[in-house]
Structure 1
């Protein structure tokens, strides 16, 4: 191979630079990790197959790091998708890893899960996530991206809470020297969240370069819901993986009761009353910084608006009374450039999940408005 004069000089004087460039980190695959770890992960299991219970224990194991953590996260995703499967052998996992799945909805599992694709995504998440609780100018909504969990009902209220009250959210989390945290929701006993494992970090949402505060809040919400519902789950995060009640999270964050408004009444005479109520709530979002979210119907329409997902929770960022525009936030943190003018037909220009819609469109696109009231919940 003939080198250019510049590269030739570099090779003479700085050969290590070229060697370093040539010796790139080898590509690691899910298959590589599984083959290397399968025996140790199943050695005491009677069937020789890896089980959902064993994977759950690995999720909570602080000694699982790096590529091993990414592989365990992918396995956990596999068992969540195959909720009627309790064990699986290595050969089946290797076969499944090569099957393509759809990434159309990041928060809805498809069957089967592409384990190689999931591993690659989780590996990148672990490598890029800062290990501090709060990094840079955290906490803030900008940079949040909902993960593969179906927990928009958790992330949307958290995103709006940190938009309206960043200092209050930061003050909720007390870090302990061992890496665990106390999360102080108003009016209830503090939630003790153990130091997050790398698998838990991979499985959760991301706040980008801001640190692990969002993962801590996500885990704390899951643990508090486990206490409130009495449901048993070895991995607390599984309780928020497939949807839930946005109102409960608003209550948890604010310590106040929540009211709900159905935006599309069957009786047309009620529509004027609904619109007046919505204006009242949205004005309070702007003036009083109350926390509000809107949810879409679970029914998918053939003429659905691009960028507006069904069965999804959105945070309400603001309301402009002069222009009658509602600003919303999709916890996916997505971007959308409509193929036509902004509106119901082509969608709305979206940057980092944020977009604005006229109030008349808002009332057509969304099914329910949920908002914090000024009435505190009874202390427990």
Structure 2
């Protein structure tokens, strides 16, 4: 073994031997320029090891090829591994995948692969025991091989495949959001904005998108006024108390999160940044910070309009009072949302998702029915056969005021 501590020279094999044979206490730097890592190895050489792509102190590198893998998303992920593994350490970390998510050059199938791996990263990385301690470094090739071997209906592999094709469909559809020069196409007039453009994806921001759909229905010009094209690839999005600058959403972001129109995906991306910037504990992925609004269901109303809101617990509110407030809100173009909480409603009526916020589209005093929209853009009140009661599963449905009280927990009204 030949190690020159003064000139920072040593081979990787020497360092491995040094790691195994020499107590850390016997290593003393001979000059101020020689610094050691936590394991007593020269930090400069640790950096060389990391950059070389080898992993002498961890698990042995996987030497399998992709020939044994079945056709599908797992094989595509395996084949893309080297490109996605930015630091060449043999693991796809959450941060590496997030960086790829923000990359506008990641498109189509590769965008869908990144979206799928991000969605399932925690579960996939635990499939093979290839780390010395907890499985925290990310997804390895061993994990992908283990995933490929899983079979059965309802399995993780089936879910991963479903996530992939859903993300691929959305990423492919997103191509229509951009012109031939790759510039995001934005509405030029209010009539080009519709609540039907709002389809929630993987972010838990139903409370915001429900309010945004209400704004699109009642005051589309205000949405148009939120967006400023800076003509340099960035956009300023104005919320009630702050303006956020963002780039256009990437195909991976659209594959993972909301879709339906370019303006909708742009505003949702800006909202994620808006929430993350205002948080004490920030997330590497801003979209992870935009969830959790179902407790304060009117939050999105305030952040969009700057106006306060009134929240009513339906169990504690007279039906005639609710009727009057619904009529007043519709007459004065006030935003309205409603939530379903399993802690308040004993069981889910009509198979509607709970822990979720919906848009109140209106109230018809003649029929005594409330018109609702699910921000998912699908999944609505069903009949006994599990089919949408109105025959069209577009997320828009009507319930009587009595059914509304059975199914929903709270209502939020904008105050003007």
TM superposition score category, shorter chain reference: 0.7 to 0.9
Cα displacement (A) at 1:258: 1.4
Of stretches 28-37 and 147-156 in structure 1, the one that deviates more from structure 2 is 28-37
Tell me if 1:123 matches 2:176.
Answer: no
- In structure 2, distance between residues paired with 1:347 and 1:203: 26
Q: Which runs of 5+ in 1 are unaligned?
A: 1-26, 103-109, 266-270, 375-380
For residues 197 and 335 of structure 1, do their structure 2 counterparts lie closer, same or farther at Cα, with a shift above 3 Å needed? closer
1:216 aligns with 2:262: no
**Structure 1 residues 191, 143: CA separation in 2 closer, same or farther (over 3 Å shift)?**
closer
Within 5 Å, which residues of 2 pair with 1:263-342? 263-265=314-316, 271-272=317-318, 275-299=319-343, 304-334=348-378, 338-339=382-383
Equivalent residue for 2:297, pick from 246, 253, 259: 246
Larger deviation, residues 165-174 vs 293-302: 293-302
* Alpha-carbon distance in 1 for matches of 2:116, 2:384: 38
* Deviation at residue 306 of structure 1 after TM alignment: 2.3
Residues 335 and 34 of structure 1: CA distance in aligned 2, closer, same or farther (over 3 Å)? closer
1:91 and 1:40 map into 2 onto residues whose CA distance is: 17
Of 227, 230, 251, the match for 1:198: 251
Q: What is the distance in 1 between the residues matched to 2:372 and 2:381?
A: 16
State the structure with more CA Rg: 2
Closer, same or farther in 2 for the Cα pair 1:301/1:257, shift >3 Å? Answer: closer
Q: Distance in 1 between matches of 2:344 and 2:315?
A: 16
Normalising to structure 2: TM-score of the pair?
0.70
1:134 aligns with 186
Of the candidates 81, 87, 104, which is equivalent to residue 138 of structure 2? 87
Note if contact 1:305-1:347 (Cα within 8 Å) is conserved in structure 2. Answer: no
Query: TM-score, normalised to structure 1's length?
Result: 0.76
- 1:349 matched to 2:390: yes
Decide whether aligned partners of structure 1 residues 168 and 100 sit closer, same or farther in structure 2, where only a CA change above 3 A counts: farther
- Name the structure 2 match of 1:185: 239
CA distance in structure 1 between the partners assigned to 2:247 and 2:370 by the alignment: 39
Over 3 Å counting, the alpha-carbon distance change for 1:250 and 1:300 in structure 2 is closer
Compare 37-46 and 305-314 and name the one that shifted more.
37-46
CA RMSD in angstroms, aligned pairs only: 3.1
- Quote the Cα distance in structure 2 between the aligned partners of 1:264 and 1:94: 52
Query: Of residues 306, 312, 334 in structure 2, which corresponds to 1:261?
Result: 312
Q: What do the CA deviations read for 1:291-334 (whole angstroms, capped 9, x no partner)?
A: 01000013497853224221111100011122221111111222
For structure 2, the 5+ residue unaligned runs are: 1-69, 126-134, 179-183
152-161 or 293-302, which deviates more: 293-302
Q: Distance in 1 between matches of 2:280 and 2:120?
A: 25
Q: Which has the higher contact order (CA 8 A, sep 6+)?
A: 1
Say if 1:314 and 1:234 are closer, same or farther in 2 by CA, change over 3 A. same
